[in-house]
A and B are shown apart, each in its own frame.
Chain A
């Protein structure tokens, strides 16, 4: 019975991991509503949607409107929410405002087909002879996202964006809000700051990470962006860590963001303050005493934070446009001999996030009275990135990240370490600092627009996490590691891909993932005495995706 349960969990996790590879990544969006409004093609703003070209970046920076003469470009005039003369009454105010002349709504659907290497059958070795093996399909069709998104400008440089997955994997319940925010563009002008020196974004946002995950052209997510930090808890190893930080850059944050500069040249910065939630769980909504944001004592939504602390995120980028001609260098797009194109440029930057991971335990006071003890473990993520873009068609990207979580181990009343996971006996009374849980890694990719309708891709992902490695070396089961029985602490993945724009709004994508090796047979190293993965194998996958937006 217990073995059956283990197998079921194992199967579920394996399939979940495989499905996650396909589904967790490609939350990508282009905005056909803008095509309708301006009567222009997707390719005005996108190279291989949803990847933005320089004009698309400038359009976004300006608050989803043309950087110059926007009014003359709009084919469907906006609806005035007040006569312009009203502004004479309150010249310093921001009304009367407009709403788009049509509901700026776009829809997107994608589905996938995945082929998994036959080596996946090695998972059968987990089971004793005569036991039904876990079934991992070699080929599998999967529905992806059906998403709705809306964006535009309310006038007075106030932009908005909302996207929501109506269904994921064919299940409506799995949908969720991606980003939803208002952006007050160039509010720095009210303080007589230089143009575009300060904008404000409020709502649920993807952090201003150097390479977007939610609007990536890749089917598979960047491994480093999905890296949580779970400390080592495998009892077979001496290394023990009380770290369970589910924060990843792949998720959205709720809060505010100040930003400035341009994405098309020169500096760009952002500073964000977002809710702390490293436990991954929203708090309950049935608080009798404190009203929730959408209700009184009962009802409404629960609060999102799991502590008072707000994570702080900063990002600074500088982009050098490399055209010799100054006029062209400072234009939104370079004037190529055959047409406008993106600049040849070098972009370098760095980013940093600081938070406090909260874990609460049922413990005791030194006097033995029951209480709840709280570990607030500072953590940070820091890294750098670079992009070299050559003219229209060739781009090299790289990102590095280092993650560090302070590690507070629970101790009992005698000052001895409490075994992990905490069982309650003896009750913990406090914490002492121990070896931090760290990880590092990143990715490097090359994106070559071979034709306006064909993008060739190659990416390397690498993640080094000792705790993931240790946690995965558990015979017959998963313990929170993203990989079972990884052959080493560093997980490498190489992903070639190619994408075709069948139409400007229809795309076929193919990726082959040379995935890290893992094992289901865990032995013991005769020299160290520690568990070790044996007979490691790769579950490589080939994924084909079809998606359209309209």
Chain B
């Protein structure tokens, strides 16, 4: 009886340890950035049902940077009185993933499901000064930093991960992080 009770306790403890929601925090030297946990071998995640909106307003993409989990459908809205176009020449440099969503007038939306992780550089071929970014994270573990570069990724199971930091105009950087309740990774990005 006592033996079985102890075994049960050990089992509960072991299970609990595997599902512990840990955090990864740290700081990115470049300020406002995106940090995410890179692909975890053998792990897949259900696509979120939420459809974030990338707006085009005042000849700007709004938000300028958006981070989503792979499989997310993003809606592209035109709130300007001029026609806008949305296209991206590649995803993380892979030109085969280029796509042109076309053109649409004020008030209309177009949706696109991002099935490939990477950095999507949004452009408008009518207004070449317009630029936006969608960071497609391969995992649901991602965060945007604050203006000072501080970030905190929550609900990360304990384990060893590659954590990637991205900042506009900088070379992205990845670091291996051990999460045991918490993990920490600071990044110093360079151009």
Q: Does B104 lie within 8 Å of A66, measured CB to CB?
A: no
- Say yes or no: is A73 at the interface (Cβ < 8 Å to chain B): yes
**Please, how many angstroms separate the alpha-carbon atoms of A336 and B85 in the complex?**
9
A331 to B57, CA, bound (A): 19
Is B102 a contact partner of A337 (Cβ separation < 8 A)? yes
Shortest CB-to-CB span from A393 to chain B, Å, is 13
Taking a contact as CB atoms under 8 Å apart, the answer to whether A337 and B103 are in contact is yes
A234 to chain B minimum Cβ distance, whole angstroms, is: 56
Question: What's the nearest-Cβ distance from chain A to residue B104, in Å?
Answer: 7
The one of B58, B100, B125, B129 in contact with A73, judged by C-beta atoms closer than 8 angstroms, is B58
User: A335 and B83: CB pair below 8 A?
Assistant: yes
* A338 adjacent to B87 (CB under 8 Å): yes
Residue A524, interface by CB 8 Å: no
The answer to whether A69 and B81 touch across the interface, beta carbons within 8 angstroms, is: yes
Chain-B contact segment, one of A37-45, A312-320, A349-357, A360-368? A37-45
Do the beta carbons of B127 and A44 come within 8 Å of each other? Answer: yes
CB of B11 within 8 A of chain A? no
Let me know if A39 and B59 touch, CB within 8 A.
Answer: yes
A335 partner, pick from B100, B104, B125, B127, beta carbons under 8 A: B104
In the complex, whether B97 has a CB less than 8 A from a CB of chain A is: no
Q: Which residues of B contact A44 (CB under 8 A)?
A: 59, 126-127
Contact A339 B126 (CB under 8 A): yes
Closest residue of chain B to A69, judged by CB? B81
State the majority secondary structure of interface residues on A: loop
**By the criterion CB–CB under 8 Å, are B80 and A69 in contact?**
yes
Are A338 and B102 touching (Cβ within 8 A)? yes
* Chain B residue with Cβ nearest A70: B81
Q: Does A326 lie at the interface of the complex (its beta carbon under 8 Å from any beta carbon of B)?
A: no
- Check B59–A338 contact: CB distance below 8 A: no
User: Are B125 and A339 touching (Cβ within 8 A)?
Assistant: yes
Is B52 an interface residue, CB under 8 A from the partner?
no
Q: Residues of B contacting A333 with CB < 8 Å? A: 83, 126
Alpha-carbon gap, A41 to B102, bound state (A): 20
A338 touches B125 (CB 8 A): yes
Write out, one digit per residue, whether chain A residues 225-252 have a CB within 8 A of any chain B CB (1) or not (0). 0000000000000000000000000000
Which residues of B sit under 8 angstroms from A308, Cβ to Cβ? none
User: A131 contacts the other chain (Cβ, under 8 Å)?
Assistant: no
Give CA–CA (A336, B125) in the complex, Å.
11
The answer on a CB contact under 8 Å between A335 and B59 is no
Complex: how many Å from CA A547 to CA B8?
Answer: 81
Residues on the A chain within 8 Å of B82, using CB:
55, 66, 68, 73, 332, 340
B64 → A minimal CB distance (Å): 13
B105 within 8 A of A: yes
Contacts of A55 in B (CB 8 A): 82, 126
B107 part of interface (Cβ distance < 8 Å)? no
Proximity string of chain B (48-65) to chain A, C-beta cutoff 8 Å, 1 when within and 0 when not: 000000000111100000
Whether B46 sits at the interface, judged by CB under 8 Å, is no
Q: A43 — which chain B residues lie within 8 A by C-beta?
A: 126-128
CA distance A528 to B35 in the complex (A): 91
Q: A39-B129, A337-B103, A339-B125 are in contact. Are A331 and B83 (CB under 8 A)?
A: yes
Residue of A nearest to B57 (CB): A72
**Smallest Cβ distance from A481 to chain B, in angstroms?**
47
Do residues B58 and A340 form an inter-chain contact, with CB atoms below 8 A? Answer: no
Q: Give the complex CA separation of A127 and B82 in angstroms.
A: 64
Question: Which chain A residues lie closer than 8 Å to B105 at the CB level?
Answer: 331, 335
Q: A189 an interface residue at 8 Å Cβ cutoff?
A: no
Q: How far in angstroms is the closest Cβ of chain B from A343?
A: 12
Q: Is A435's beta carbon under 8 Å from chain B?
A: no
Contact B83 A40 (CB under 8 A): no
Cα A169 to Cα B157 in complex, Å, equals 72
* Residues A336 and B58 in contact, CB atoms below 8 Å apart: no
**Residue interface bits A35-66, CB-to-B below 8 A is 1, else 0:** 00011110110000000000100000000001
Q: How far apart sit A333 and B126, CA to CA, in the bound complex (Å)?
A: 11
Chain A: minimal CB distance from B112 (Å): 15
Q: How far is the CA of A75 from the CA of B57 in the complex (A)?
A: 12
A118 to B136, CA, bound (A): 63
A534 interfacial by beta-carbon distance below 8 Å = no
A68 touches B125 (CB 8 A): no
A19 at the interface (CB under 8 A from B): no
Q: Known interface pairs A331-B83, A335-B104. Does A41 touch B127 (Cβ–Cβ under 8 Å)?
A: yes
B87 contacts across to A, CB distance below 8 A: 338-339
A331 to B129, CA, bound (A): 23
CA distance A335 to B103 in the complex (A): 6
What is the bound-complex CA distance between A345 and B160, given in angstroms? 62
Query: Please, which residue of chain A has its CB at the minimum distance from the CB of B59?
Result: A40
A residues less than 8 Å from B80 (CB atoms): 69, 72-73
Query: Most B CB atoms within 10 A — which of A41, A337, A339?
Result: A339
- Cα-based distance from A286 to B129 in the complex (angstroms): 54
CB neighbors of A among B101-134 (8 A): 102-105, 124-129
By a CB distance below 8 angstroms, the chain A residues around B83 are 331, 333, 335, 339-340
Query: A504 contacts the other chain (Cβ, under 8 Å)?
Result: yes
Residues of B close to A75: CB separation below 8 A: 58
Contact in complex: B100, A338 (CB < 8 Å): yes
CB distance from B2 to the nearest CB of A (A): 74
Closest to B79 in A: A72
A339 CA / B105 CA spacing, docked (Å):
11
7 A-B pairs within 8 Å (CB atoms) are namely: A39-B129, A40-B59, A67-B81, A72-B57, A338-B87, A339-B87, A504-B128
- What 4 A-B pairs have minimum CB-CB distances, sorted nearest first? A68-B81, A339-B85, A69-B81, A340-B83
Binding site for B on A (CB under 8 A): 38-41, 43-44, 55, 66-69, 72-73, 75, 331-333, 335-340, 504
